[in-house]
A and B are shown apart, each in its own frame.
Chain A
């Protein structure tokens, strides 16, 4: 007896969710987490704290930090190999 396939709507929703998961998280979850954290931190500084100058420096600094951390992880993984 063949297994029943899930309904089309469910498959489309699953496919859509999988696409965005691969697109945004994929094999670099650290970048996704870092951007979410950076947005949270800068929101606190800019929207709540009204510290515009600090926010101007914080956002690019956190982005550069996230990229450097992700590359440092990849570099360490390559060294272990």
Chain B
């Protein structure tokens, strides 16, 4: 029983971190590729590398510090943050899925970033611009991943595993991007975002409850129940919104 509950927790943790990191990596990669193709690879890769070092430093600095916070208080705060954050992701994914919000178009983002960089005055220091754009792209997208790794990892006492799942997603998406040598517009980003939303709300509910002294029936197995529950609710919400806006839904499905 203990092994089952532990592995359920591990599977949900690894899936949440891996998918969240993969989604953010696709967005960061689009920016780095746009910079590299228009302004040269040296500055683009330097900017991306410095951003990764800065993000790693954040994890190294805050990870060990968070371990010393009393677990009950930590889980309540982390649970609350994950609930809000997860519902924001889920809300966006549901609106995109039902057609009320435009889908994240990596091709369009790539084109507009390239146009923006090409339009820059030749007198400006182009290497510096390329470095800063690549740095900001990777750092800002990566910051959300750092928060997810730290909050999920420390509350589950598995920061190492969370960091490993994040690194695996970065390597996999980065490798795929290098191999196809273009932005990954074919990645089903909204479906991945929806899955991450479900997993974050799942953990948010679970840990907020633990922080508030709730004794969950079945302990960690409740995580699996919450995944199924929130996935069903999400499907229901998409269906209801599509029915409320039949014309928009028709455009999405055609």
Contact = CB atoms under 8 A, between A and B. Distances in A.
Interface of B: 76, 80-81, 83-85, 87-88, 90-91, 94-95, 100, 147, 201, 204-205, 208-209, 212-217, 226, 229-230, 233, 237, 241, 244-245, 248
B91 A74 contact: yes
27 contacts: A24-B81, A24-B85, A26-B88, A31-B84, A31-B91, A32-B84, A35-B87, A39-B80, A39-B208, A39-B212, A42-B209, A43-B212, A46-B209, A55-B214, A59-B205, A59-B212, A60-B205, A63-B204, A64-B233, A67-B87, A67-B233, A67-B237, A70-B87, A71-B94, A75-B244, A75-B245, A78-B100
Given A46-B212, A60-B229, A63-B201, 16 more contacts: A28-B87, A31-B84, A35-B80, A35-B83, A38-B83, A39-B76, A46-B214, A47-B212, A52-B214, A64-B230, A64-B233, A71-B237, A75-B244, A78-B100, A78-B245, A78-B248
Nearest to A28: B88
- Interface size for chain A: under 10, 10 to 19, 20 to 34, or 35 or more residues? 20 to 34
Nearest to B79: A39
A75 B229 CA distance: 22
A26 B92 CA distance: 13
Interface of A: 23-24, 26, 28, 31-32, 35-36, 38-39, 42-43, 46-47, 52, 55-56, 59-60, 63-64, 66-68, 70-71, 74-75, 78-79
